[in-house]
Structure 1
Amino acid sequence: MDIKEKLDELNKKISAEIDHSTNIDLVENIRVHLLGKKGELTKILKGLKDLTPSEKPVVGQLANQIRTQLEAEIADKKNSLEELKLNAKLATEKIDVTLPGRSFQIGTKHVLQQIQDQIEDHFLSQGFQVMYGHEIETDEYNFERMNLPKDHPARDMQDTFYLTPNTLLRTQTSAMQARAMDQHDFASGPLKMISPGKVYRRDNDDATHSHQFHQIEGLVVGRKITLADLKGTLQALTNELFGRGHAMRFRQSYFPFTEPSLEVDISWNIVDDQTAAEDIEWIEVLGAGMVHPNVLKMAKIDSEKYSGFAF
């Protein structure tokens, strides 16, 4: 068998193998066995040296045609197998758009925000307004207007983050009392407001202390406001927050901006006529009192005509 016949036979054989290949690895093996340094086509072409000068160009041209043809068939087969592989993968991974979508877990409000919202809603229903105030406050409004002059010993109770000699991170939402009284037109009626917000003090963080925490201030100023009004307001608030059946008590205390000043406790357990006094466990929940006359005077409010309570 001469070289031409060997080339024709090789062409038919390789074409058939390519056609019947079922995966890309088989096709790649065919390419290596055909065109590699020790491949079948390489072995046949080594016989060119034995041809006559007139036969070499003819056989060489035929060999190149067969090489080009088989390389094209190999490339086409690889592309075809790649496409089949991709289609098979898509068939198994396709998305059924008729299926229900994945549900996402719905977030909830932080418990502090939930309590703040509950208190705001309660007081809005009582005719109060909500005033948020400034977290960066002046020394005047945070201390002096709250009856805490610069030499007042009670300032030592609140270690403060000062930004400048006269500005600070507020230590109490009470600072909003003075601003609210400055803004309010008492000819339109009494001032009734709450002021929720963050406050800051130089406390070491632990289980019961934080350098930043939350307060909700309350203030009512008008004519003939009494301690009974304060008690009724706080009883309604504790009923809203803790439910009815919890006892409430006042204890005498001291705050520079109220006189008299009170601490308010509620019972952690339900109290009825059958509950013995020694069985009641108390929890302190807030401080309150009647607005100090000095605080009213600094707001240019006549303390002989107007009174108020704060908590």
Structure 2
Amino acid sequence: MNELDSLVESAQQLFAQSATPAELENAKAQFLGKAGRITELMKGMAQLSVEEKKSRGAAINVAKQAIEAALTARRQALADAELQVQLKAEALDVSLPGRQRGMGGLHPVSLTQERIESIFGSMGFDVAEGPEIEADWFNFTALNTPEDHPARSMHDTFYVEGGSATAPNLLRTHTSPVQVRHAVQHVKQHRALIDAGQSMPEIRVIVPGRTYRVDSDATHSPMFHQCEGLWIGENVSFKDLKVVFTDFCRTFFESDDLVLRFRPSFFPFTEPSAEIDIQFQTGPLAGRWLEVAGSGQVHPNVVRNMGLDPEKYIGFAFGMGMDRLTMLRYGVNDLRLFFDGDIRFLSQFQ
């Protein structure tokens, strides 16, 4: 073995013993650095003849290439080893079940609202929306509840900034104000027909949405959901109210043997007025009368505030709590569960 072969073998052995990239670079310097052994051999060729330089230079280059090849191989080996350590440290146990993101769904009250809108939509009712921050006139006065009316005490609510001392703004206590707003717009749209003494298209609308009152217990919440209904025309009677609401309840609860009763009551915006109770004939609530809505013939003063002549136009209105309907449909006995945000409870309805 000549000198150059021995040099290559020494480099290969030293590279193989290098356990880290830093050690390997130090070993490289001994052979290929500025003061390395290959560099020294190249410098020693200065005293050789031209022919000797050719043969000696070629041999040294072969040795240099062999050392560089050994260095590259060791660098790759160290990099591969480091990668394997990293992969092992970050390894995933593919035998574990995957973690899936749960699918969301509609809130049970939203499901009830969709169901109500679908049922009344099949009867020809439109859906109307209005502001939750309402003017005192629409919320009370237009609905035949003037400032000194005792019924206002039943609607204690949250007043907000804006408006004036005589006409304050408040969080609406029911969705009935939207009935008036919708009717007023409807009358404006068909004013020419009305002034000409012709028949105006009927007003047939439901108004679902959030409402607010100072009240909180197992069956009441400061924020709750209502759905009001209104049907105004020239020949709309209490009989129509009974037919419409009976059909709605039996469809909503999927029970053809559901019994309804209309119990006399008082509301400022209807006259005559009635509470609507239902009775299931089967199931855990069988035999019990359950109040689900208030209703009545629209009061003449309210019809006037809509811009219509109560001598010509007549109709009925009703209002029901969507939260209560949801409780009855799903057998929930505490309203607060709907708004606690417990995903374990809410996921049952998906």
Deviations 1:193-229 (A, max 9, x none): 111111112224x432222111111001111221111
Query: How many residues are matched?
Result: 262
Equivalent position amino acid for 1:179 in 2: R
- Unaligned 5+ runs, structure 1: 36-40, 42-59, 95-100, 272-278
Q: Partners in 2 of 1:161 and 1:282 — Cα distance?
A: 32
Name the counterpart of 1:124.
121
Name the counterpart of 1:155.
152
**1:138 Cα deviation after fit:** 0.7
Residue 208 (structure 1) aligned with residue 208 (structure 2): no
State the TM-score, normalizing by the size of structure 2. 0.64
State the TM-score, normalizing by the size of structure 1. 0.71
Within a 5 Å distance, the mapping from 1:56-71 to structure 2 comes to 61-62=35-36, 65=39
SS in structure 1 at match of 2:116? helix
Change in 2 beyond 3 A, CA 1:281/1:75: same
Within a 5 Å distance, the mapping from 1:38-187 to structure 2 comes to 61-62=35-36, 65=39, 77-83=74-80, 86=83, 105-163=102-160, 164=162, 165=164, 166-184=168-186, 185=190, 187=199
Name the counterpart of 1:189.
201
SS in structure 1 at match of 2:79? helix
SS in structure 1 at match of 2:276? strand
Q: Partners in 2 of 1:105 and 1:93 — Cα distance?
A: 25
Change in 2 beyond 3 A, CA 1:106/1:30: closer
8 Å Cα contact 2:203/2:233 also seen in 1: yes
Aligned-CA RMSD value = 3.7
Name the counterpart of 2:239.
228
**1:74 Cα deviation after fit:** 5.7
Equivalent position amino acid for 2:215 in 1: D
Change in 2 beyond 3 A, CA 1:12/1:247: same
Name the counterpart of 1:282.
289
- Unaligned 5+ runs, structure 2: 41-63, 93-97, 319-350
Residue 26 (structure 1) aligned with residue 19 (structure 2): yes
The structure having more radius of gyration, on CA atoms, is 1
8 Å Cα contact 1:141/1:175 also seen in 2: yes
Change in 2 beyond 3 A, CA 1:61/1:130: closer
Deviations 1:244-263 (A, max 9, x none): 11111111221110111111
Q: Partners in 2 of 1:195 and 1:136 — Cα distance?
A: 15
Identity of counterpart residues, as a percentage?
39
8 Å Cα contact 2:205/2:229 also seen in 1: yes
Q: Relative contact order, CA 8 A, sep 6+: which one is greater?
A: 2
SS in structure 1 at match of 2:208? strand
